[in-house]
Amino acid sequence: MVRHRAFDETRPDERPRILVVATHGGPKERSAHIDEQLLRDEFGDLIAGFHHVDSRPDPDTGACHGLDELKEAIAREAAAIPSVGRSVPKSWKNLLDALQKRSEKNPYISYKQFCALARRHKVSNELASTYAAILNELGYLIHYQGDEVLRDTVILKPEYISKAISYVLEDSVAKEQHGLVEHHRLSDIWNDSARPERDRYPDELHRIFLRLMGRFDLSYQVVMPKENDPATSLVSQLVPGGRPENWEQDWSPQPEQGDAERRRICRLVDVETGRPAEVEGLLYRLIVRLHRYSLGRRNYFDSRHWKTGMILDDDFNGRAFIEEISGDVHVSVRAAYPDGFLGSLCGEIRSLVDQFWKGLDCRLSVPCHAPCRGLHELDVLVETRRRGIAEVLCPVCRKFYEIDSLLVAATPKLPMDVVVAELTKVRTTLADMKKAQEELGSDVKQMIGQANEQFELMMKAMTSLAKDGPRLFSFEPVDPGFWDRPKWIAEKFRLTLWCEHSRLPLPLLTGDERLGVYEIELARDWVKKSAPVLKVLFNTLSLALPIAGSGAKLAVDSAVYKMIEDQLKFGKSCIEGFLKGGHQIADWLSSGDAAELDRGGAVLADGATLRELHALLKEKDKTDSFGSLVRVQNKRREFLWVHPQFKSDY
């Protein structure tokens, strides 16, 4: 049994109520058996009652045994739910009634029509936008204001979409092609003249349906081998049932020389009982969500995925084999430094479970030492070690193991300043990722993986600050004689915005040395107050620059690289000067333990820093566009600011 959502144990009115119903429960039939005591022992007072029913009418009375009592019990429990009977604004009730009435004739309307209907019921356009978002969350309609394709349409009957998607899943051609569907074929499916008019969908909705399928992690547009091939999407629920014949060519029995292999097992459990739970569609959604790592991201037919698994690749960060076995998701990564990619993939799985399966928890485990097949829950190992306990007992092989031997990283980590210094030496090679993969040694690949992991951790620390404006920028003084004035009060600085996808400055991406570059006067007190968050920022950029080639697909020549590097050195030197003072936060930031930055303490302690900076930039940039950067959201609903050429990736 899987609950739809977790509840607050401290609030009795939030607890779910369960009615256990057994069929074939008529008095003249075989009595249905329920082990009431077993269920009460497990669920306690969550169980509101037991009912034995039979839907077949009694030949003597014509009544269905137990149904009336069950209906009364359902009504009684529903009436006790706090939200039932709760007061809401009259305008809300009137608008909802009007929308439901409209849906009987029209399953969808334009957003302008929605606002017009709202105004008739004395709801302003601003409040109508809020109502639309709430109604979408509650499942009354489908509308996404932040999506440029979906914002102009309001689907009044969500089942209207479900039926349209079901036609795609039942299409014989789509099944034969293992989920590959050309977009013009989708139009034929949705507007099939062989079906009754009520079951056909107008052309204006087809683009919206396709967008919604992508948003719900049901499909994604693939890259076909030829430029003139028609636009095609993969419907992941129709992929082949078994591993492809040549899968071992892409995942050999043993790691390549210089690579290490790390494994994690993602186990889904009910948060209330701790019992394992299985869900349908997790791997299908993962195929869509992780397609940016697909072997077929440049040519779909190089992809390796099936109903229960997939093989992925992230250049230097490693190659992954993911497979569902008995409800658990096994993730293996091979690389010179596999920990970063492994953590990223497990994070995506956890995010997906949190988004679509409320009430379930995705718990990570590490395998016991071979040949034992036992598992050790990762959080338990970490907490046990933190308490000073060095060993743990495996529940399968009944042997004690040192926790450090189970948690040990694939390779020892180098200090971040050493990593950055070493990577800058090979920057010209890094610009050509294919050549680098073939020629660079495992030690350099290890450093690239480690730098990428720390960059992601630092960006995560600044996640909450990305909603209102970009997080990445470098700066340098306008006056080269800046260092001769140590007691400056205010000074003009040249700020350069960076793309958060490619990890490169905007002028380098656009070829326009003025785009995304601003001259701003900053007060000494502001820089001093903002020193902790700026320290994190420049550490982040120092990690981003040496590995930027994989995201931007650009070659950074030595002169440009040196110019950017000088900006970063200045920024770090300036900020480090303000951090000297023995403050606790400064000591922490200067400790060199970059892994601690995923806590985000320094950034979150002063979130006003970037907000003030964003306000200054908006004053300088009348277009309010932050130098042409656009705000996007990834699948984890995190905001990023990227150059327009990368917008389609999100």
Per residue in 478-533, pLDDT (tens digit) is: 887 776 776 778 888 888 888 888 887 888 777 787 888 888 888 887 777 777 77
HEC string for 576-616 = HHHHCCCCHHHHHHCCCCHHHHHHCHHHHCCCHHHHHHHHH
Residue 182 parent element (H or E): strand 180-182
**Per-residue pLDDT averaged across 473-480, rounded?**
80
Q: Are 2 and 360 in contact (CB under 8 A)?
A: yes
* Residue listed under structure tokens 């994070």: 347
Query: How much is the pLDDT for 432?
Result: 56
Read off the pLDDT of residues 192-239 as tens digits, 9 standing for 90 and up: 988 888 889 999 999 999 999 998 899 999 999 998 999 999 999 999
d(CA 460, CA 18): 39
* Residue listed under structure tokens 């105004």: 119
Length of the chain: 650
d(CA 597, CA 459): 9
Nearest Cα to Cα of residue 187 among 175, 202, 176, 173: 202
Query: How much is the pLDDT for 282?
Result: 92
Mind listing the domains of the chain with CATH numbers? 18-79 (no CATH), 159-238 (1.10.10.2200), 247-367 (3.30.310.200), 416-649 (no CATH)
Question: pLDDT grade, residue 116 (50/70/90)?
Answer: very high
> Does the pLDDT at position 284 exceed 60?
yes
Helix axes 531-544, 608-620, angle to 10 degrees: 70
> Does the pLDDT at position 47 exceed 90?
no
| Ramachandran sector of residue 5 (left: φ over 0; alpha: ψ -120 to 50; beta: rest) | beta
State the CB neighbour count (10 A cutoff) for residue 386: 9
Q: What is the chain's mean pLDDT, rounded?
A: 80
Task: DSSP letter for 393, please.
Answer: E
Per DSSP, helices labelled H in 104-202 are: 111-120, 125-138, 158-169, 172-176, 183-190
**Per-residue pLDDT averaged across 155-176, rounded?**
93
Q: SS3 of 324, please? A: strand
d(CA 86, CA 97): 16
d(CA 319, CA 248): 13
d(CA 111, CA 67): 43
Q: Are 641 and 631 in contact (CB under 8 A)?
A: yes
More confident site: 176 or 59: 176
d(CA 65, CA 53): 5
Read off the pLDDT of residues 228-273 as tens digits, 9 standing for 90 and up: 999 999 999 999 998 998 899 999 998 888 888 989 999 998 887 7
Query: How much is the pLDDT for 552?
Result: 43
Query: How much is the pLDDT for 153?
Result: 94
Tokens of 263: 């494994």
Task: DSSP letter for 17, please.
Answer: -
**Per-residue pLDDT averaged across 347-357, rounded?**
90
> Does the pLDDT at position 539 exceed 70?
yes
Model confidence pTM above 0.85: no
Residue partners of 235: CB distance under 8 A and separation at least 6: 168, 169, 174, 179, 181, 213, 218, 219
Tokens of 105: 């004739």
User: For 120, how many CA atoms within 13 A lie in the half-sphere containing its CB?
Assistant: 12
Query: How much is the pLDDT for 602?
Result: 35
d(CA 612, CA 566): 25
End-to-end CA distance of the chain: 35
Read off the pLDDT of residues 373-428 as tens digits, 9 standing for 90 and up: 889 999 899 899 889 999 999 989 999 999 888 886 445 566 666 666 666 666 55
> Exposure of 580 by Cβ count < 10 A (0-12 exposed, 13-18 middle, 19+ buried)?
exposed
Read off the pLDDT of residues 325-337 as tens digits, 9 standing for 90 and up: 988 999 999 988 8
Query: How much is the pLDDT for 585?
Result: 34
Query: How much is the pLDDT for 107?
Result: 92
Nearest Cα to Cα of residue 286 among 347, 334, 231: 347
Q: Which amino acid would we find at residue 433?
A: M
Q: SS3 of 14, please? A: helix
- Sign of the dihedral defined by the CA atoms of residues 52, 54, 55, 58, in that order: negative
Query: How much is the pLDDT for 586?
Result: 36
d(CA 33, CA 51): 11
Query: How much is the pLDDT for 574?
Result: 59
**Per-residue DSSP letters for 76-115?**
HHHHTSTTTT----HHHHHHHHHHHHHHTT-SEEEHHHHH
**Per-residue pLDDT averaged across 346-351, rounded?**
92
In DSSP terms, which residues pair with 22 in a beta bridge?
52
State the CB neighbour count (10 A cutoff) for residue 448: 28
Question: pLDDT grade, residue 439 (50/70/90)?
Answer: low
> Does the pLDDT at position 560 exceed 70?
no
**Per-residue pLDDT averaged across 76-104, rounded?**
82
d(CA 296, CA 228): 18
Q: Which amino acid would we find at residue 335?
A: A
Query: How much is the pLDDT for 7?
Result: 39
Query: How much is the pLDDT for 546?
Result: 63
Query: How much is the pLDDT for 278?
Result: 81
Query: How much is the pLDDT for 9?
Result: 42
> Does the pLDDT at position 584 exceed 50?
no
Question: pLDDT grade, residue 559 (50/70/90)?
Answer: low
**Per-residue pLDDT averaged across 174-180, rounded?**
94
Query: How much is the pLDDT for 332?
Result: 95
Nearest Cα to Cα of residue 537 among 498, 502, 487, 483: 498
pLDDT above 70 covers a percentage of the chain that reads 80
d(CA 86, CA 532): 46
> Does the pLDDT at position 436 exceed 70?
no
pLDDT above 90 covers a percentage of the chain that reads 29
**Per-residue DSSP letters for 263-320?**
EEEEEEEETTT--B---SSHHHHHHHHTGGGBTTSSSGGG--EETTEEEEE-GGG-EE
d(CA 294, CA 97): 46
